[in-house]
């Protein structure tokens, strides 16, 4: 067997079935071997952030490694932003990056970077990065990557072309790797905190927000009177809707976060990080919790969170407690103007059981999130847990490939959506079962707000030109049609309800462009922020 075959044998031996790909010349041997490998489905994407973002979405929903195929330094670089989100989520992703033949790299052909090598880029956004030094090592690295990825590591294999075609030994079968356990002292300390009578938030993150761990956390909360909180952007996926344990998300903005957390005396983190603000502002705190609030990390995202919560449930005698759950909320058909709230109400009414809601709605997200609390049981995916925007469309694509029998609903802000608009083409090609709802407000609306933190007075036209998406307005219907996705435009709340209802009846991708105004509250909030500079 050659090195390419050894690599894909290692990956498929470990259960890999899907490869999100944007190959170039240096990946032709790999493409050829994928073509001969029965167990791997390749998904071509037209830009690399779509590749890595889709891999992230796929792996989060599948719970097992996604593989990407990327082309040298520039191709890898194009996928870094979405890979960063995956890395901050400890998503199991294995990147295979073709590189110049080892003996050709010193010749400095076009693709060689001016001040380093592919691996220098890869290392910064991967937990584990290796460049193969032989054909056999390609197989060995593939095997090692599968066990590391399953433990929540981003693994990147740089694969020089000569090792693709040279003779290789069959890959080894790697020993399984288990996630580390939280320390017993940490469990005891958390249990003692939960018994001390103080107002406590049990802040869950990553895998703790999914099915079983969340159920256990719900019992602990019920028994100890702690409140279940979620990290601001659930970094893996969040089980929510009818029948799911009640969890409140710590709000994004400093001001709303401070207000939300102001009464908490202690926060215990399970798979979540401290509630630091995304960006520091002049003369403002960087933590959303009060200085007097005690912060304790019981388990980090890369540890075994299910085992940690089971131990905590035992230590607090919560194993049989009765969890507080969301109930179904019935909503009337919304009427009037098309707003984020109306869209949320429609989703709440119509989203089918077991749907996957992908949220990159940015400033419109919180209203849709609030309105869908009482929807039928669903999984919620947030692509912005690492702050990099543009993950919505790729993540929806990946989730659809992972879960072909589930409906994917994407709420997507227009500005963010434009970074990875190429994902629509892959959705069309793969007949991915997605309803993509574009919230079009013709602006980077969040920046209007953030600008309020620094501006001395009103904005001038030049400043505004860097914050809005007008002149020309984007026409998402045409863009979608151009990329092969059927699309329509909803103008009123009732209109949207009807279009969305029919979209749910159709299998395959559909896009609905929704013109939504920037809400008055946001403008009021901007004024408040500007005054409190």
Question: Contacts with a copy of itself in 483-502 (CB under 8 A)?
Answer: 483-484
CB nearer a copy of itself, residue 110 or residue 185: 110
* Cross-strand bridge partners of residue 511: 436, 487
Q: Considering only 143-151, 168-176, 257-265, 451-459, which stretch makes contact with a copy of itself by CB under 8 A? A: 451-459
> Does residue number 104 form part of the binding site for a copy of itself (CB under 8 A)?
yes
> Does residue number 107 form part of the binding site for a copy of itself (CB under 8 A)?
yes
> Does residue number 47 form part of the binding site for a copy of itself (CB under 8 A)?
yes
Query: From CA 312, how far away is CA 207, in angstroms rounded?
Result: 16
Rounded to a whole number of angstroms, the minimum distance from the CB of residue 479 to a copy of itself is: 3
What is the Cα Rg of the chain in Å?
24
> Does residue number 55 form part of the binding site for a copy of itself (CB under 8 A)?
no
56 three-state secondary structure: helix
Query: From CA 181, how far away is CA 187, in angstroms rounded?
Result: 10
Among 59, 66, 70, 72, binds a copy of itself (CB under 8 A): 72
Residues 81-100 touching a copy of itself, rule: CB under 8 A, are 81, 84, 87-88, 100
Query: From CA 66, how far away is CA 400, in angstroms rounded?
Result: 13
Rounded to a whole number of angstroms, the minimum distance from the CB of residue 108 to a copy of itself is: 7
* Cross-strand bridge partners of residue 111: none
> Does residue number 236 form part of the binding site for a copy of itself (CB under 8 A)?
no
Rounded to a whole number of angstroms, the minimum distance from the CB of residue 58 to a copy of itself is: 17
Among 6, 7, 16, 121, binds a copy of itself (CB under 8 A): 121
Residues 392-421 touching a copy of itself, rule: CB under 8 A, are 415, 418-419, 421
Q: Which helix (H) or strand (E) holds 4?
A: helix 3-13
Query: From CA 186, how far away is CA 190, in angstroms rounded?
Result: 6
> Does residue number 26 form part of the binding site for a copy of itself (CB under 8 A)?
yes
> Does residue number 508 form part of the binding site for a copy of itself (CB under 8 A)?
no
Q: Considering only 102-110, 351-359, 405-413, 491-499, which stretch makes contact with a copy of itself by CB under 8 A? A: 102-110
Query: From CA 254, how far away is CA 210, in angstroms rounded?
Result: 26
Work out the number of other CB atoms within 10 angstroms of the CB of residue 191.
21
Cα–Cα distance list, 106 to 101, 110, 117, 157 (Å): 10, 11, 11, 20
Rounded to a whole number of angstroms, the minimum distance from the CB of residue 272 to a copy of itself is: 12
Among 173, 195, 466, 524, binds a copy of itself (CB under 8 A): 466
Residues 178-217 touching a copy of itself, rule: CB under 8 A, are none
254 three-state secondary structure: helix
Residue 412: closest CA among 475, 368, 361, 366: 361
> Does residue number 520 form part of the binding site for a copy of itself (CB under 8 A)?
no
> Does residue number 295 form part of the binding site for a copy of itself (CB under 8 A)?
no
Query: From CA 264, how far away is CA 266, in angstroms rounded?
Result: 6
> Does residue number 330 form part of the binding site for a copy of itself (CB under 8 A)?
no
Query: From CA 180, how far away is CA 178, in angstroms rounded?
Result: 6
> Does residue number 346 form part of the binding site for a copy of itself (CB under 8 A)?
no
> Does residue number 333 form part of the binding site for a copy of itself (CB under 8 A)?
no
Query: From CA 522, how far away is CA 365, in angstroms rounded?
Result: 12
CB nearer a copy of itself, residue 141 or residue 347: 141
Query: From CA 125, how far away is CA 252, in angstroms rounded?
Result: 24
Rounded to a whole number of angstroms, the minimum distance from the CB of residue 142 to a copy of itself is: 19
> Does residue number 450 form part of the binding site for a copy of itself (CB under 8 A)?
yes
Among 96, 154, 381, 526, binds a copy of itself (CB under 8 A): 154
Query: From CA 499, how far away is CA 13, in angstroms rounded?
Result: 44
443 three-state secondary structure: strand
Rounded to a whole number of angstroms, the minimum distance from the CB of residue 143 to a copy of itself is: 22
Among 195, 454, 501, 517, binds a copy of itself (CB under 8 A): 454
> How far from chain centre, in Å, is Cα 38?
29
Query: From CA 428, how far away is CA 423, in angstroms rounded?
Result: 9
CB nearer a copy of itself, residue 12 or residue 224: 12
Query: From CA 339, how far away is CA 492, in angstroms rounded?
Result: 8
Among 246, 463, 494, 504, binds a copy of itself (CB under 8 A): 463
Query: From CA 283, how far away is CA 90, in angstroms rounded?
Result: 33
CB nearer a copy of itself, residue 360 or residue 373: 360
CB nearer a copy of itself, residue 27 or residue 341: 27
> Does residue number 523 form part of the binding site for a copy of itself (CB under 8 A)?
no
> Does residue number 387 form part of the binding site for a copy of itself (CB under 8 A)?
yes
Query: What's phi and psi for 223, nearest 5 deg?
Result: -75, -40
Helix residue spans in 283-420 (DSSP H): 305-315, 340-350, 365-371, 392-402, 414-417
CB nearer a copy of itself, residue 329 or residue 429: 429
> Does residue number 46 form part of the binding site for a copy of itself (CB under 8 A)?
yes
- Mind spelling out the 3-state secondary structure of 278-300? CCCCCCCCCECCCCCCEEEEEEC
> Does residue number 465 form part of the binding site for a copy of itself (CB under 8 A)?
yes
> How far from chain centre, in Å, is Cα 408?
14
> Does residue number 34 form part of the binding site for a copy of itself (CB under 8 A)?
yes
Residues 419-448 touching a copy of itself, rule: CB under 8 A, are 419, 421-422, 425, 428-429, 446-447
CB nearer a copy of itself, residue 287 or residue 494: 287
CB nearer a copy of itself, residue 344 or residue 417: 417
């Amino acid at each position: 067997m050659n090195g390419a075959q050894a690599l894909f044998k290692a990956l498929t031996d470990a259960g890999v079935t899907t490869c999100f790909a944007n190959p170039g010349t240096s990946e032709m041997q790999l493409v050829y071997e994928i073509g001969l490998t029965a167990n791997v489905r390749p998904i071509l994407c037209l830009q690399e952030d779509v590749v890595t973002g889709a891999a992230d979405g796929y792996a989060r929903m599948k719970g097992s490694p996604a593989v990407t195929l990327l082309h040298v330094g520039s191709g890898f670089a194009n996928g870094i932003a979405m890979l960063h989100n995956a890395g901050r989520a400890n998503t199991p992703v294995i990147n295979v990056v073709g590189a110049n033949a080892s003996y050709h790299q010193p010749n400095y052909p076009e693709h060689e970077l001016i001040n380093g090598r592919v691996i220098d880029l890869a290392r910064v956004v991967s937990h584990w990065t290796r460049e193969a030094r032989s054909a056999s090592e390609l197989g060995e690295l593939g095997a090692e990557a599968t066990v590391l990825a399953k433990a929540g590591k981003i693994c990147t294999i740089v694969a020089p072309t000569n090792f693709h075609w040279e003779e290789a030994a069959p890959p080894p079968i790697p020993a399984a790797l288990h996630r580390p356990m939280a320390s017993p002292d940490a469990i005891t300390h958390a249990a003692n905190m939960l018994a001390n009578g103080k107002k406590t938030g049990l802040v869950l993150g990553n895998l703790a927000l999914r099915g079983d761990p969340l159920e256990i956390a719900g019992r602990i909360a019920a028994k100890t009177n702690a409140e279940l909180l979620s990290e601001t952007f659930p970094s893996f996926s969040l089980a929510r809707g009818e029948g799911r344990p009640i969890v409140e998300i710590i709000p994004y903005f400093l001001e709303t976060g401070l207000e939300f957390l102001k009464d908490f005396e202690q926060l215990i983190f399970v798979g979540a990080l401290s509630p630091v603000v995304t960006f520091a502002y002049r003369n403002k705190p960087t933590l959303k919790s009060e200085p007097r609030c005690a912060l304790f990390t019981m388990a980090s995202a890369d540890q075994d969170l299910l085992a940690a919560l089971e131990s905590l449930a035992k230590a607090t005698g919560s194993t049989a407690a009765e969890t507080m759950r969301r109930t179904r909320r019935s909503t009337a058909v919304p009427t009037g103007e098309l707003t984020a709230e109306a869209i949320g109400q429609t989703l709440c009414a119509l989203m089918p059981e077991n749907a996957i809601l992908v949220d990159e709605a940015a400033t419109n997200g919180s209203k849709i999130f609030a309105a869908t609390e009482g929807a039928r049981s669903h999984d919620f995916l947030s692509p912005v847990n690492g702050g990099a925007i543009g993950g919505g469309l790729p993540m929806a694509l990946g989730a659809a490939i992972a879960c072909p029998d589930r409906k994917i609903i994407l709420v997507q802000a227009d500005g963010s959506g434009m970074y990875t608009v190429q994902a629509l083409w892959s959705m069309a090609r793969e007949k991915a079962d997605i309803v993509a709802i574009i919230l079009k407000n013709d602006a980077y609306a969040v920046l209007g707000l953030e600008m309020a933190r620094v501006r001395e007075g009103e904005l001038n036209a030049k400043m505004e030109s860097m914050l809005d998406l007008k002149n020309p307005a984007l026409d998402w219907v045409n863009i979608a049609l151009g990329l092969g996705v059927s699309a329509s435009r909803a103008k009123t709340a009732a209109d949207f309800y009807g279009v969305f209802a029919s979209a749910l009846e159709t299998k395959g991708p559909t896009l609905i462009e929704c013109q939504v105004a920037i809400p008055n509250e946001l403008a009021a909030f901007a004024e408040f922020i500007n005054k409190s500079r």
